[in-house]
Each structure stands twice: as C-alpha cells, then as structure tokens.
C-alpha cells in the first residue's frame, strides 16, 4: 500500500515537472489576489488589452485569497522562465517569501497596487496615490458636514493590506482636525477616539484602529460590523450620519445596513474603485461617492515597466514608498472623485464603461 502511495506521489511530481517543462515559456508573469472581487477583474480586463499589444508572452495567475497559492503561482512562473513578475499580494508581509524566491533567481519583481512589505527583495512599485484616495474620502465627508456634532462611523480595509494603512491615514489627515474641533463625533471606534488628538498616527496606532474597524475587505464582515454598530448606537447617534467606507464592495454592504435603520434619516458614504455596482448605487443615490482609480493606466504602467526591464532600460519612477525595510521606487497615478455630478463625464464619456451598463444615467 505504502509503495503504491509513494509511486503515485512520484508520478504526480514527475507529471507536474513534465507539464511545467512543456508549458509555454513566459516573459512576464502577473499574479493577482483573487478573481472574486470586481476590482481585480477590472485589472485583468485592462491587462488583457495591453497584453494583446505586446510581443512578449504574459501569463496571469490568481491567488484566490491564499498566500500559499500565491507562492505556488510565483514558483510556477519561475519554472516557466519569467524574467519579470508583477504581483499584487494577498497578504503584504506573507508575500515577502515569494518575492525573495524570485529575486534569488534573478527575476525583477514589481509590486502592483499593494506594496509588499518586510523585505528588501522588491524592485519597483506601481500604484495609485493611495494616501490621496483616503484624503479624497475625508474631503468628501468634510464638504458635506454642517455645524458641529455630526455622527461619524469609521471602517477600514484589511490589516494584511498596506493600502488599508495608507487609505486610513489619508482620510484621517482630513478628518482628525474636524474631529478635534467637534465637527465630527466618532460613534463606533474606541481606538480612534483614543487617538483623536493625534494627526500623524504611528503604524501601531493605525493598526489598533484598523484592527477594531476592519472589514477585512469582506462584504459580509462589513455588513455584520455595521449591524452591530447600529444595534448599540442610541437614536441620538443616528439622524444624518457620515460613513468612511474603505471601498465600493464594503460601502454597498454598509450603506444597505444604514439605509434600513429607521433612525438614520440621511447618510453620506464613501467608496473607491468605481465598481459597476457602485456606479449604479451612485446614480440611484444609495452611495454618495467613489474614488475612481483608472486601472487602464495602472496596467499599462506595469506592463511598460516590465518591457523596459526586459529590454534593459531603466524604468522611470516618480515616488518612493517605505515597505518597513527599504524605500521602494514607485510609479504613482493620481485618482479622481466621482459623484452623481460627474459620473457620466468621468466614467462613460472617457470610454471606461458603456452607458448601456447602467440605468437612469
């Protein structure tokens, strides 16, 4: 029995190496965190557009929310001869090992959208200006607040995602002075209240707040947190409320919960990604804004950088990001606030989406 098992395992290892050896060689490997979130499907579609134009062979693999799958993906790409790997990590710190394995093989590694932390093996970072994403959310809430004592509910992304820190600090840059002067009153975070007089939060302070109000980038977590918050909130903590939601998926879940509460008379809620479902929510007045991150630019920047590297040219960068070990040279793209007022001009007239994808435009 044991012998048969050993034979079967050996055979499957042989078959795997055989198929890797005969699988098509790739020049550039792309690893994305999951197929299950609309944000990353936008990136795939935009990568497909740029891949069609390039003479190099490119392969896109998904990690499906698992650092183990992510590592296997990187190993597969290494085995297939990739010379550049573009990776958007599921877990910023856990991805360091995969990056180091690639680096040891002489492969250039580009972090895509999410910065990989805790390693010096990373070469470049292609990203949106994520602090400005958070600032745009904070500014939107600030612009709509009248008088003092406006109830503020804070939500954040996943602790394993460096972007969650950048988004929150960005929003805090705008909101903290307005919390300190009484314009906003935090209703759902003891940790944020603890630091309400501190503008520049340390990584530990941010982690304490994010840990308390995290959605984990998960719609269901967002929904149950919002429900729990509204269950304990007094009627006086409701009325017209202001909600910092970290992205579109979680914004829709949180918005649905607030909309269903009879004591919430009006709500302002943020988001980001310009997901189609949220664009429809904005048109219908169920989500107040989104931050549009043009994935056409990000995908093109990442591919162009990969091509420059393949052709022995030095990529141009315009920023740098500290990944807790080294400053990583970065190429950064600005973002645009979208509300009902400009949804058509920014997202339809620019050709990003078709008008026929929406009703009531």
Q: Which residues bind ligand BGC (CB under 6 A)?
A: 37, 39, 113-114, 157, 161, 163, 217, 247, 272-273
Nearer to ligand BGC, 138 or 157 (CB): 157
Minimum distance from residue 233 beta carbon to ligand BGC (Å): 26
Nearer to ligand BGC, 89 or 178 (CB): 89
Nearer to ligand BGC, 167 or 172 (CB): 167
DSSP conformational letter for 229: H
CA dihedral 40, 135, 137, 345 (to 10 degrees): -70
Minimum distance from residue 9 beta carbon to ligand BGC (Å): 36
Nearer to ligand BGC, 221 or 361 (CB): 221
Q: Which residue is nearest to ligand BGC (CB)?
A: 247
Two structure tokens written together for 29: 């490997």
Minimum distance from residue 243 beta carbon to ligand BGC (Å): 16
Nearer to ligand BGC, 129 or 161 (CB): 161
Q: Is 233 strand, coil or helix?
A: coil
Vertex 192 angle, CA 188 and 196, to 5°: 125
Minimum distance from residue 208 beta carbon to ligand BGC (Å): 20
Q: How far apart are CA 106 and CA 122, in angstroms?
A: 12
Nearer to ligand BGC, 142 or 164 (CB): 164
Q: For the chain, where are the alpha helices, taking DSSP H only?
A: 2-22, 38-53, 67-79, 95-104, 130-144, 162-180, 190-194, 203-213, 219-232, 248-259, 276-283, 295-310, 343
Minimum distance from residue 37 beta carbon to ligand BGC (Å): 5
Per-residue burial over 53-85, b = 16 or more CB atoms within 10 Å of its CB, e = otherwise: eeeeebbbbbbebbbebbbebbebbbebbbbbb
Minimum distance from residue 176 beta carbon to ligand BGC (Å): 22
Nearer to ligand BGC, 272 or 288 (CB): 272
Q: How far is CA 125 from the centre of its chain?
A: 14
Closest-CA residue to 304 (of 319, 290, 320, 315): 315
Minimum distance from residue 33 beta carbon to ligand BGC (Å): 7
């Amino acid at each position: 029995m044991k012998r048969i098992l050993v034979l079967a395992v050996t055979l499957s290892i042989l078959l795997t190496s055989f198929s890797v050896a005969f699988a098509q060689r790739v020049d550039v490997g792309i690893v994305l965190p999951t197929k299950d979130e609309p944000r990353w499907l936008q990136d795939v579609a935009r990568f497909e557009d740029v891949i069609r134009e390039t003479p190099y062979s490119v392969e896109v693999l998904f990690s499906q929310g698992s650092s183990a799958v992510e590592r296997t993906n990187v190993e597969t790409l290494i085995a297939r001869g990739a010379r550049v790997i573009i990776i958007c990590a599921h877990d910023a710190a856990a991805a360091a090992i995969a990056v180091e394995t690639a680096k040891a093989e002489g492969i250039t590694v580009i972090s895509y959208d999410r910065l990989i932390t805790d390693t010096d093996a990373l070469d470049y970072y292609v990203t949106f200006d994520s602090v400005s994403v958070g600032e745009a959310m904070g500014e939107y809430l600030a612009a709509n607040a009248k008088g003092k004592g406006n109830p503020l509910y804070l939500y954040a992304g996943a602790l394993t995602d460096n972007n969650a820190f950048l988004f929150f600090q960005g929003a805090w840059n705008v909101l903290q002075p307005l919390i300190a002067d009484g314009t906003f009153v935090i209703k759902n975070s003891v940790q944020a209240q603890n630091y309400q007089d501190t503008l520049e939060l340390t990584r530990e302070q941010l982690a304490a707040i994010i840990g308390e109000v995290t959605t984990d980038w998960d719609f269901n977590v967002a929904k149950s947190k919002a429900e729990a918050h509204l269950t304990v909130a007094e009627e006086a903590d409701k009325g017209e409320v202001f909600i910092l939601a970290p992205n579109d998926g979680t914004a829709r879940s949180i918005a649905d919960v607030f909309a269903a509460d009879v004591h919430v008379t009006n709500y302002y809620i943020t988001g980001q990604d310009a997901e189609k479902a949220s664009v429809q929510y904005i048109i219908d007045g169920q989500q107040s804004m989104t931050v549009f991150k043009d994935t056409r630019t990000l995908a093109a920047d990442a591919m162009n950088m990969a091509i420059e590297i393949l052709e022995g040219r030095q990529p141009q960068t315009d920023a740098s990001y500290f990944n807790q070990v080294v400053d990583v040279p970065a190429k950064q793209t600005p973002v645009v606030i979208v509300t009902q007022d400009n949804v058509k001009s920014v997202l339809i007239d620019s050709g990003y989406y078709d008008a026929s994808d929406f009703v009531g435009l």
